[in-house]
Structure 1
């Protein structure tokens, strides 16, 4: 049975989504740069490219088995899909923003005549309900940022990553609405009928995510210092040792460690007597 994976065809999630599949070994056979439906090197696995906002509904309808899109689009679509993984990229915030000169300073100052332009009317409506507020929600498909300057809206609800676009258009954040990041989602029926293959693909993707936070540390340790080094070096299941053929009794020690701990670990093992220390990247880790 064929597995279709749908990816964003453009935007902030497009390149990272494709790169993730490539690192996971799910490699499309590109023949033309504008191909929208492509077979991969894995038999019966293909990739489809469409708009990120359409992906949740596409997966819900069963037109694809798996999809990568933003959490904001999943919530906005209200699609009944299964979220398998937070892919930890495309991190952004959906915010309520106002012109710098606006007198509106908080959500509490919104009134029924306030006009809010957004590409996320469902999320905006729920945000207002949560805050017991009413406003005129203007659904748009273009750039929200220019709507206040055109006199179309008083506020906007839109996605921001760095805040640079808001600043360029002289807008400032009133309140954060929700956090978003890329997610791997699945069709409910596909999880039942194609579970084995979906689990294999999910594991391949998960192995890349896990490896991102890990480094391989290798070192030579004189035998007289071995026990000191072993006491200070962390590992997943235990460090690996190999006898080194050298005039001085020596062991090669290597271990997988958390990336944010490498500085501390290097200092500790060096002080314990290790030498020739190497830090290497890891492509995948399969637990």
Structure 2
């Protein structure tokens, strides 16, 4: 049983996608996007590099079993896929924007006589249909921001993370059409017929995501100080306590904690009697 996973060959989500797969244990043997396919350290799993916009359809059509893509591209292509895991990066919004000196300040100011420029005609058309509007939709392949200023369109719909680029181009956001993030996807046939491999990849990737911002703290504590130390320990399930073979009555404690808690926690633990404190990175939490 072979499994093929499609990842973007270039662009803003390519390297983060590859990094997550490698942290999940699927190291690429040929990490070169000039190659169409790369084997991994698992002989049953290959990685295929593709254009980000093609990946939802490749997964939906069964050309590949799994893929990494944005919700915006999935919805735009109307691909039938199963979303497995949110990869927790690449958050963006598809927004409706007008020139900052325009009198168009909300969807209520838009009429069907207006023209909209976009790279997402399907999502844009659906959005306006939901508002009982049928403006002319002009599909552009790039530089959408300039469309209102060269007479191509009255408004645009475009992706933005912070809105800075739109503001720099003298555009104002008047509505949000869709919020998007990067997700791991599969198709129904692969999910059913290759379930063990699909679930293994999905759980490993989710383990990487869950480990972000987490640290493992380990320490030795004298038995008399155990209660004081244990009260300080935040943890997923409560700290793990085990006996240390030593002359003194000592126990070892370990727990998973949030990274932002580490500085204050370590100092409080030391004051409570903990010693030999180790803070260790976590690659995955399964």
TM-score by length of 2: 0.92
> Does the aligned pair in 1 maintain the 2:6–2:50 contact within 8 Å?
yes
> Does the aligned pair in 2 maintain the 1:110–1:134 contact within 8 Å?
no
Tell me by how many angstroms 1:223 deviates.
Answer: 2.8
Q: Does residue 152 of the first structure (1) align with residue 152 of the second (2)?
A: yes
How large is the RMSD of aligned CA atoms in angstroms? 2.1
Secondary structure (helix, strand or coil) at the match of 2:148 reads: coil
Tell me by how many angstroms 1:168 deviates.
Answer: 2.3
Q: 1:74-133: per-residue Cα shift (whole Å, max 9, x none)? A: 111111111111111111111111111112111100011211111111111121122232
Secondary structure (helix, strand or coil) at the match of 1:220 reads: strand
Q: Quick one: structure 1 residues 133 and 276, their matched pair in 2 at CA, closer, same or farther if it must change by over 3 Å?
A: farther
Q: 1:46-81: per-residue Cα shift (whole Å, max 9, x none)? A: 111111111111111100000000000111111111
Aligned to 1:189: 189
Aligned to 2:139: 139
Q: Report which stretch shifted further, 217-226 or 20-29.
A: 217-226
Aligned to 1:103: 103
Which stretches in structure 1 are left out of the alignment for 5+ residues? Answer: none
Q: Distance in 2 between matches of 1:43 and 1:83?
A: 25
Q: Does residue 49 of the first structure (1) align with residue 49 of the second (2)?
A: yes
Q: What are the equivalent positions in structure 2 for 1:81-92 lying under 5 Å apart?
A: 81-92=81-92
Q: Distance in 1 between matches of 2:264 and 2:156?
A: 45
Secondary structure (helix, strand or coil) at the match of 1:228 reads: helix
Q: Distance in 1 between matches of 2:234 and 2:167?
A: 44
Q: Report which stretch shifted further, 58-67 or 268-277.
A: 268-277
Q: Report which stretch shifted further, 33-42 or 191-200.
A: 33-42
> Does the aligned pair in 1 maintain the 2:33–2:49 contact within 8 Å?
no
Q: Distance in 2 between matches of 1:254 and 1:144?
A: 52
Q: Does residue 125 of the first structure (1) align with residue 121 of the second (2)?
A: no
Q: Distance in 2 between matches of 1:260 and 1:220?
A: 22
Tell me by how many angstroms 1:242 deviates.
Answer: 4.4
Tell me by how many angstroms 1:142 deviates.
Answer: 1.7
Q: Quick one: structure 1 residues 184 and 31, their matched pair in 2 at CA, closer, same or farther if it must change by over 3 Å?
A: closer
Q: Distance in 2 between matches of 1:145 and 1:15?
A: 26
Q: Report which stretch shifted further, 256-265 or 60-69.
A: 256-265
> Does the aligned pair in 2 maintain the 1:60–1:81 contact within 8 Å?
yes
Tell me by how many angstroms 1:32 deviates.
Answer: 4.7
Q: Distance in 1 between matches of 2:278 and 2:136?
A: 59
Q: Quick one: structure 1 residues 31 and 68, their matched pair in 2 at CA, closer, same or farther if it must change by over 3 Å?
A: closer
Q: Distance in 1 between matches of 2:277 and 2:93?
A: 40
Q: 1:160-213: per-residue Cα shift (whole Å, max 9, x none)? A: 112222122121211111110001110111111111111111111111111114
Q: Quick one: structure 1 residues 142 and 233, their matched pair in 2 at CA, closer, same or farther if it must change by over 3 Å?
A: same
TM-score by length of 1: 0.92
Which stretches in structure 2 are left out of the alignment for 5+ residues? Answer: none
Q: Report which stretch shifted further, 99-108 or 30-39.
A: 30-39
Q: Distance in 2 between matches of 1:57 and 1:140?
A: 20
Q: Distance in 2 between matches of 1:238 and 1:276?
A: 20
Q: Distance in 1 between matches of 2:129 and 2:210?
A: 38
